Amino acid sequence: PSLLQHTPVILLKEGTDTSQGIPQLISNINACQVISEAVRTTLGPRGMDKLMVDSRGKATISNDGATILKLLDVVHPAAKTLVDIARSQDAEVGDGTTSVTLLAAEFLKQLKSYVEDGLHPQTIIRAFRTATNLAVSKTKEIAVSVKKDDKQEQRKLLEKCAATALNSKLIAGQKDFFAKMVVDAVMSLDELLPLKMIGIKKVQGGALEVGEDFLDFSFALWLCFVIFPVLHPLSTFSVRCLLQACGGSIQTSVGAMTEDTLGQCELFEEVQIGGERYNLFKGCPKAKTCTIILRGGAEQFTEETERSLHDAIMIVRRAIKNDSIVAGGGAIEMELSKYLRDYSRTIPGKQQLLIGAYAKALEIIPRQLCDNAGFDATNILNKLRAKHAQGGTWYGVDINNEDITDNFVACVWEPSIVRINALTAASEAACLILSVDETIKNPRGSVDGPPGGGRGRGRAHAH
């Protein structure tokens, strides 16, 4: 009603589209199904990539849920919520964006019949919040933590987590190499692990091969000022990095140069990598930074590699801060599903059905992993259910042999925080979409509507 008071004009305008009530909810749910259809085949190690071409003809190949959704340029207001939530997962933990989208859409799909039957959305939302809380505490309970003091153990953990994140990417073939490199890169940072201190530079040409040596930016800034413009203009990124790494400050002329405006580094050298020349600043005293140089043929390829490395870097940072892990490949989802199903049997009424629906929806992750690999999903899921009922907590899909396996032993590890975040984000998205029962749209072609009207409604803001 408040919307009506604030924007009466929109309602009066000819062509304004309003729809409300159950049909509106159902149509929003359907829109979210369409979104999940768009990304579902990209999930997991056997997932496919998408090639997207924008209006300017620029082609992008990606497996990253957030990137795909961003490029899809979704206009449907409810579906856009889902896109925003997936992107919030990307910002928060970097990985797991496809999972969030699939889970949220599946939650809604399982609920659809209850909505059609006239069950009040608030009842559903309440049940979902309960289920999410239960699932999160269960995840925390069963997550395994690896001792931080043991450096070797920690390193192993980090590499495994990075490898799991890279499994589903274009560069999965070289995942061990890249996992090691990502861990090295993150470990070379200082305690706060500032993401922006890891630079990724892409050089065209050559096979995708990675400069093992990290280019430590450290340097005297006047040097930069004098030398760089000749070579190539400095990007703001490099300037910022350089300033933080070596101290010094930006001078507009060499006239007033004093001791304290200068930064320092131990060694400055210029090397040729591919077609470009690079300035390396080694042994910088102030901050720890590093740069990864990627060389590859097609631009699309190096760009996707950069995105994949970003996922892995985020995962490693997460895993350093929080060392508890769970097994992936659908294992954690199956375990939570079992737990919630058992729990739902102990409570009466609608809540039982709804929590049961939540439990069922969790199975989408292993199911989709199977589907994408061409496995018989029903068969594998039956096996998994049976195994989890017998206490096989970490059993998940074995992607190499059409079977199930203990994914903890198989080292398909993921930081538990990633899964927790994915679950909460997905259920928030589902609840948000359920709580919208009316959409009011400006007629098309009208000059920019007032803020808050039409398109923007129901939009989630990432937290």
Ligand X SMILES: Nc1ncnc2c1ncn2[C@@H]1O[C@H](COP(=O)(O)OP(=O)(O)OP(=O)(O)O)[C@@H](O)[C@H]1O
What residue ranges bind Mg ion (CB under 5 A)?
95
Q: Please, are residues 238 and 228 in contact by the beta-carbon 8 Å criterion?
A: no
User: What character string, x for contact with ligand X (CB under 6 A) and - otherwise, covers 146-165?
Assistant: ------------------x-
Binding positions for ligand X, 407-426, rule CB under 6 A: 412, 414
Query: Partners of 396 in the beta sheet?
Result: 405
Measured N-to-C along each axis, helices 77-92 and 65-72 cross at an angle, to the nearest 10 degrees, of: 150
The smaller minimum CB distance to ligand X, of residues 39 and 224, is found at 39
- Number of residues in contact with ligand X under rule CB under 6 A: 25
Per the listing, tokens 């072609």 go with 445
Q: Tell me how far apart the alpha carbons of residues 458 and 88 are, in angstroms, rounded to a whole number.
A: 15
Closest CB 423 distance from Mg ion, rounded Å: 15
The smaller minimum CB distance to ligand X, of residues 164 and 289, is found at 164
Closest CB 98 distance from Mg ion, rounded Å: 7
Per CB under 6 A, 311 contacts ligand X: yes
User: What character string, x for contact with ligand X (CB under 6 A) and - otherwise, covers 113-152?
Assistant: ----------------------------------------
* Torsion 95-86-196-228 (CA) sign: positive
Residue nearest Mg ion by beta-carbon distance: 95
Indicate which single residue of 77, 199, 247, 328 sits in contact with ligand X (rule: CB under 6 A).
328
Single out the residue of 322, 352, 325 nearest to residue 340, CA to CA: 352
Per CB under 6 A, 44 contacts ligand X: yes
Indicate which single residue of 25, 32, 35, 64 sits in contact with ligand X (rule: CB under 6 A).
64
Q: Tell me how far apart the alpha carbons of residues 53 and 220 are, in angstroms, rounded to a whole number.
A: 43
* Residue 171, contacted partner among ligand X, Mg ion, none, CB below 5-8 A by kind: none
Binding positions for ligand X, 360-379, rule CB under 6 A: 365, 369
The smaller minimum CB distance to ligand X, of residues 89 and 110, is found at 89
Q: Contact positions toward ligand X, by CB under 6 A?
A: 42-45, 47, 63-65, 95-99, 164, 167-168, 311, 328-329, 365, 369, 397, 399, 412, 414
